[in-house]
């Protein structure tokens, strides 16, 4: 049986993807201006209306500054908002993001876990009681990443901070990719099960205890990545 034929990208998405690759590989470095529309559209093999659609998308995501009647200026990715993360993760930056994601997790998650423990820990405790078992399933890293994401989501929702789920949600696509990388290592999966057991036991003890355990386990995950990075 022959392999399925990949679905071609819509012209605007093709233009956006190609342009993004050029922004990230330095073809159009931060601070520079893009070529004129006619030239740029020809180089991408799209019409000018299609090019404008792609430019508007990248401008909305904080990668371009579109000025009426003036050349479009390239912004540094750091000038963009959180939506830039998903773009970066698709274009070779994902492996370098993992330690930063783990570091950010260690800063935020303990606070959310502590608040959830003091407010209502039942849902998150029930979730932590049943982490994925070890198996030969090739999709296990993705399953583990989904389980861990659900844990973080419950912590954010249970914290009582209305902004916490919104902030966490901005990392959903990036985490799905990065989590699969992190949990590809059986030792990291086993250590995470130990973390979940420790958190499960600490939650009934209140916010201070649960927060301390969440911080120590988060830092341990970062150290384990640095010691056994793929």
Write the CB contacts of 226 (distance below 8 Å, at least 6 apart in sequence).
99
pLDDT of 60 strictly over 90: no
Residue where the block lists tokens 């070779």 = 92
pLDDT of 33 strictly over 50: yes
What's the mean pLDDT in 205-216?
97
Exposure of 130 in the CB half-sphere (CA atoms within 13 A): 4
pLDDT of 42 strictly over 50: yes
Comparing CA positions, the residue from 197, 179, 196, 127 lying closest to residue 158 is 127
Judge whether 84 and 62 are in contact, CB under 8 Å. Answer: yes
115-164 pLDDT tens trace = 999 999 999 999 999 999 999 999 999 999 999 999 999 999 999 999 99
Comparing CA positions, the residue from 163, 138, 162, 155 lying closest to residue 195 is 155
Spacing of C-alpha 7 from chain mean position: 25
Token pair recorded at residue 65: 């500054």
pTM here is: 0.75
User: Which pLDDT score, from 0 to 100, does residue 92 have?
Assistant: 58
What's the mean pLDDT in 217-228?
90
Judge whether 180 and 213 are in contact, CB under 8 Å. Answer: no
């Amino acid at each position: 049986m022959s392999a399925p034929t990949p679905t071609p990208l819509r012209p605007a998405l093709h233009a956006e993807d190609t342009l993004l690759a050029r922004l990230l590989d330095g073809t159009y470095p931060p601070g520079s201006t893009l070529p004129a529309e006619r030239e740029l559209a020809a180089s991408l093999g799209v019409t000018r209306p299609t090019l404008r659609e792609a430019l508007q998308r990248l401008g909305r995501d904080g990668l371009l500054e579109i000025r009426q009647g003036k050349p479009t200026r390239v912004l540094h990715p750091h000038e963009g908002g959180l939506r830039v993360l998903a773009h970066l993760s698709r274009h070779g930056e994902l492996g370098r993001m993992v330690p930063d994601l783990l570091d950010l997790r260690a800063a935020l998650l303990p606070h959310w876990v502590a608040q959830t423990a003091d407010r209502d820990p039942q849902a998150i405790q029930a979730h932590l009681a049943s982490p994925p078992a070890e198996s030969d399933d090739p999709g296990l890293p993705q399953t583990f990443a989904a389980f861990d994401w659900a844990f973080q989501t419950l912590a954010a929702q249970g914290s009582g901070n209305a902004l916490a789920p919104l902030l966490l949600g901005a990392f959903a696509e990036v985490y799905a990719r990065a989590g699969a990388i992190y949990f590809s290592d059986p030792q990291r999966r086993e250590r995470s099960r130990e973390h979940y057991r420790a958190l499960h036991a600490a939650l009934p003890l209140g916010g201070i205890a649960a927060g301390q355990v969440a911080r120590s386990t988060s830092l341990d995950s970062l150290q384990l990545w640095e010691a056994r990075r793929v």
